[in-house]
Structure 1
């Protein structure tokens, strides 16, 4: 799967000049191949994947949310949102003043069971929910506290800014199973392996092997999402050993492929069955 996930027609971005309340929710069913043009909001956006895999892409890198995770997008940041397969998403829009603790960078966060239930309940509120000392406003405050405490996970792929190194990374993303080494890439780019290694580390914050492993694992999410076997997903993203793929996958995501795409997704769909 291309990590940017773009194919088909772009989906429209709903017009919203301002938030009716400090916290606002949107529920969306996204078609396979859905994507938005680059855009920005005047507020923080937290996009939570109930089913499917969300991809959020910025100039700094790409961020992926399988079921039970979400992407935190700072206010004013240009981004696109993609899904390779059908997905169900909940988006929370948060006024800057309501989240003074928020970091000014994209992050992928694990949605805890308590936060999931609070989001579920909040999605039943009217857009202009009662404020002051109302039950709704108290729940919103608890939900904001929970959002502030969500653990961050490493489901992101930082991208370099240097044009030649960026072109190398884009070529690797297009063919995740390609086996060319860093020394081979250095020869293609006309520089020494040590120079390219240092520049890659400086630009992405990761070593070449770590970056490529993360890219491969993230690229395999699309195959798993469409129902491919673990072996097929492993081969498609460049692993010759299924056991090595499963071990690396669990090391990054904290779950095996089967755990991530079966039990969590089923529980999430069940938990949100009553949400309009």
Structure 2
């Protein structure tokens, strides 16, 4: 389900490639407006990365958020949509499956080191059909090594499958500031609070409290990245005070909002 911002996004075209001209293909885009691609898949891995702006990849299993210095790894064949915030500068990579045999079959968010960022920058200057022998080919091999070793970061909101939990997800996605408790939700669905809590744990791997906090903090990232005041973001995401928001942010990301985007 798209957020209100995503409903106002402009459609973004998916490249009509039948095959990749080389094992690694780069795509550079400057996106001044919010954009959203339609649901699609392709027979190669996608490494969605932006040097500026916030990306969100949506699959059937979760929402994967990538602020600057993070990227989303989308396996070949996985159906997904990609949302970008305003003023996004994309430096995405498409990779043939035969050079990513080491990768698992799950979508995930990766940290982009300074070295990996510079390798992507250098690769983006190469011609599409770069020589595979010589310096260009060696640069691509180092790039692949760095992608293989990039650590996974926890910027994922697992999506529940149960229809009742989906109702909670849609309500909180539209209004993350709402304080409706699990007990109140359980009464709406005529379930015990214990049963609803167990459903959340089974479907998402998280307690309701932890899942809701992650939804709120991930919703805060695009607002913070575009420079909104921390106090305003905290209130918009359901926190009573700036200090409570910063404490929750530090617990989730091991840094303050200022350090996260520094």
Q: TM-score, normalised by structure 1?
A: 0.91
Q: Which residue of the partner structure matches residue 118 of structure 1? A: 119
Q: Which residue of the partner structure matches residue 55 of structure 2? A: 54
1:162 pairs with 2:159: no
Q: 2:10–2:33: 8 Å Cα contact kept in structure 1?
A: no
Q: 1:29–1:89: 8 Å Cα contact kept in structure 2?
A: yes
Q: Which residue of the partner structure matches residue 174 of structure 2? A: 174
Q: Which residue of the partner structure matches residue 77 of structure 2? A: 76
Q: Which residue of the partner structure matches residue 228 of structure 1? A: 228
Q: Which residue of the partner structure matches residue 238 of structure 2? A: 238
Q: Which residue of the partner structure matches residue 13 of structure 1? A: 14
Q: Distance in 2 between matches of 1:136 and 1:42?
A: 24
My pick for the range that moved more, 178-187 or 162-171, is: 162-171
Q: Which residue of the partner structure matches residue 85 of structure 1? A: 86
When residues 169 and 190 of structure 1 are mapped into structure 2, their CA distance, relative to the original with a 3 A threshold, is same
3-state SS, counterpart of residue 179 of structure 2: coil
Deviation sequence 1:132-153 (CA, Å, 0-9, x none): 3x11111111111110111111
My pick for the range that moved more, 242-251 or 87-96, is: 242-251
Q: 2:67–2:225: 8 Å Cα contact kept in structure 1?
A: no
The structure whose RCO (Cα within 8 Å, separation 6+) is larger is 1
**1:142-157, aligned counterparts within 5 Å?**
142-157=142-157
Q: Distance in 2 between matches of 1:254 and 1:87?
A: 25
Q: Which residue of the partner structure matches residue 3 of structure 2? A: 2
Runs of 4+ residues over 3 Å off in structure 1: none
Q: Distance in 1 between matches of 2:5 and 2:142?
A: 34
3-state SS, counterpart of residue 187 of structure 1: helix
3-state SS, counterpart of residue 45 of structure 1: strand
Q: Distance in 1 between matches of 2:260 and 2:4?
A: 18
When residues 39 and 204 of structure 1 are mapped into structure 2, their CA distance, relative to the original with a 3 A threshold, is same
Supply the RMSD in Å over aligned alpha carbons.
1.5
Q: Distance in 1 between matches of 2:9 and 2:49?
A: 22
Q: By how many angstroms is 1:3 displaced?
A: 7.7
Equivalent residue pairs, number:
261
Q: By how many angstroms is 1:260 displaced?
A: 2.8
3-state SS, counterpart of residue 5 of structure 1: helix
Deviation sequence 1:115-173 (CA, Å, 0-9, x none): 111111111111111113x1111111111111011111110100011112111111111
3-state SS, counterpart of residue 184 of structure 1: helix
Unaligned runs of 5+ in 2: none
Q: Which residue of the partner structure matches residue 194 of structure 1? A: 194
Q: Distance in 1 between matches of 2:33 and 2:190?
A: 40
Q: 1:4–1:57: 8 Å Cα contact kept in structure 2?
A: no
Q: By how many angstroms is 1:221 displaced?
A: 1.5
Q: TM-score, normalised by structure 2?
A: 0.95
Q: Distance in 1 between matches of 2:128 and 2:185?
A: 52
Q: 2:49–2:66: 8 Å Cα contact kept in structure 1?
A: yes
When residues 64 and 203 of structure 1 are mapped into structure 2, their CA distance, relative to the original with a 3 A threshold, is same
Q: By how many angstroms is 1:67 displaced?
A: 0.8
